[in-house]
Amino acid sequence: MSPDTIKAPRGTYDVLPGQSVARAALEARARAILEGAGYERIETPAFEHTDLFARGVGASTDIVQKEMYTLTDGSGRSLTLRPEGTAPVCRAYLEHGMHKRPAPVKLWYLSSFFRYERAQAGRYRQFWQIGAEALGSDDPAVDAESIVLLCTLLAELGVGDVRLRLASLGDADSRSEYRERLQDYLQTHSDRLAPEVRDRIGANPLRAFDSQHEATRAVMADAPRLLDCLSAPDAEHFAAVRELLDAAEVRYEIDSTLVRGLDYYTRTVFELTSDALGAQSGVGGGGRYDRLVEVLGGPQTPAMGWAAGIERILIASGAADQQAPAAAVDLFVAFTEPHLRARAFALVQLARSAGLAAQMELAGRALKRQLGHADRLKARYVAILDDPQSVLKDMQSGRQEDVASDAIVHAVLRGLRDMV
Ligand code: HAM
């Protein structure tokens, strides 16, 4: 390859032939599980007005501050490649009047997302998520059902060693009260905090729990916990979610330090990690976002959802390394002379319209190498077109017979039928 050959951008990857089968199987499983629970597929555009994410995800989050691919289009509008799917789904929900439908409105998606992150195994700049959002109800059973569906999906896809961590962030009131308590605490210990944590005490004190900085972690070990400051209705809601998860025999750990990287969460938050992954152990996560639709200009609409990264699911389940078998070929059409190409072409079309998987010689090979190619493709039958008579060879038994060209498709169909 010459040195100026263009490669794919860092943090992106190609889905190569053979790899798409595992992804298709994953999609089929997700569809069966989610649609079985009443979720309907939705797809939103790859880019949105930048404001949607600035308002929806939160101006002080890493995603909005550092990770968005934002561009100005030909008319001077600021557009952003979607870094996540919840804000776009809420935008579509409002724009299409879905808030008038009976609650909860359940939507799922499988789409690509874009974040300018440090690329490494399991972390990409274009990645894919399966997501599920249920809008319009604050019933704790919506939370529990949503979490159980993701657990079921991961279990059925063979993602091993999964840990479910669960917490509640309460509503805006519990949080602002707690925020002040936490800010006071952080100010008192600010000399021991990492500079970036100290800089964010005002804007986003909760992110201090996320820090890997050793002294900060020591400070945070004794920090006040939101879970201990929940209002009575929030505490009741969380208890009801836990009770339902217990009834479904879902194992979880309460983790009062759980911090999600998006600002829209209220009440329930959760994350699923798998030890089968390395440093990027988060397979999926989500929670309630009871204020997001309102923040985007809609009516008060409680909602709950999650997203899981499909690359991480594939890695954790071992499906990323599986090579799919090549597609079956019922009939390969070879020909002895170039002037028979048109006849071969017509025969392939006829075979395909009869439902056969058919291919023909397309690279100008001599007959011997055409047969070698048919062998590599593991073709079940090979037709060798000749003038005037053609030959049909059964590649399994090695038997061959003379056939008129217009009888080849029938002969293959008959042969395949007899086999079953
Ligand atoms: P998130 O935690 O940012 O949540 O992403 C969900 C999942 O997407 C992660 O657990 C991970 O598996 C995958 N993921 C995230 N970033 C990357 C990346 N750079 N490369 C590969 N995989 C990645 C959300 O996006 C929320 N919208 C989830 C949600 C839905 N909350 C409520 N509804």
Tens-place pLDDT, residues 233-248? 999 999 999 999 999 9
Does 284 sit in the ligand 1 pocket, CB within 6 Å? yes
Does 139 sit in the ligand 1 pocket, CB within 6 Å? no
Alpha-carbon gap, residue 20 to 74, rounded angstroms: 35
Does 56 sit in the ligand 1 pocket, CB within 6 Å? no
- CA nearest 218: which of 189, 238, 243, 240? 189
pLDDT tens for residues 293-347? Answer: 999 999 999 999 999 999 999 999 988 777 777 789 999 999 999 999 999 999 9
* Number of Cβ within a 10 Å radius of residue 24: 10
Cβ-proximal residues to 333 (8 Å cutoff; 6+ apart), any chain: 344, 347, 348, 351, 358, 359, 360, 361, 382, 383, 385
- Tell me what pLDDT residue 140 has: 98
Asked if residue 66 lies in contact with residue 58, where contact means CB atoms within 8 angstroms, the answer is: no
End-to-end Cα spacing for the chain: 48
- Tell me what pLDDT residue 311 has: 95
Does 84 sit in the ligand 1 pocket, CB within 6 Å? yes
Does 267 sit in the ligand 1 pocket, CB within 6 Å? no
User: 84 C-alpha to center of ligand 1: Å?
Assistant: 7
DSSP letters of 27-67? Answer: HHHHHHHHHHTT-EE----SEEEHHHHHHHT-TTSHHHHHS
pLDDT tens for residues 93-126? Answer: 999 999 999 999 999 999 999 999 999 989 999 9
Q: Whose CA is nearest to atom 17 of ligand 1?
A: 123
Does 104 sit in the ligand 1 pocket, CB within 6 Å? no
Nearest-atom index, ligand 1, CA of 129: 8
User: 128 C-alpha to center of ligand 1: Å?
Assistant: 9
- Tell me what pLDDT residue 405 has: 87
| Encoded tokens for 141 | 């059973």
Alpha-carbon gap, residue 375 to 372, rounded angstroms: 5
User: 88 C-alpha to center of ligand 1: Å?
Assistant: 14
- Tell me what pLDDT residue 420 has: 64
- Tell me what pLDDT residue 60 has: 84
- Tell me what pLDDT residue 281 has: 84
User: 307 C-alpha to center of ligand 1: Å?
Assistant: 6
Asked if residue 193 lies in contact with residue 215, where contact means CB atoms within 8 angstroms, the answer is: yes
User: 200 C-alpha to center of ligand 1: Å?
Assistant: 23
User: 294 C-alpha to center of ligand 1: Å?
Assistant: 22
Q: Whose CA is nearest to atom 18 of ligand 1?
A: 123
Give the up-direction half-sphere exposure of residue 259: CA atoms within 13 A in the CB hemisphere: 14
- Tell me what pLDDT residue 54 has: 95
Nearest-atom index, ligand 1, CA of 289: 32
Asked if residue 191 lies in contact with residue 202, where contact means CB atoms within 8 angstroms, the answer is: no
Low-confidence ranges of the chain (pLDDT < 70): 1, 420
Question: In whole angstroms, how large is the CA radius of gyration of the chain?
Answer: 28
- Tell me what pLDDT residue 256 has: 87
Q: Whose CA is nearest to atom 15 of ligand 1?
A: 309
User: 154 C-alpha to center of ligand 1: Å?
Assistant: 15
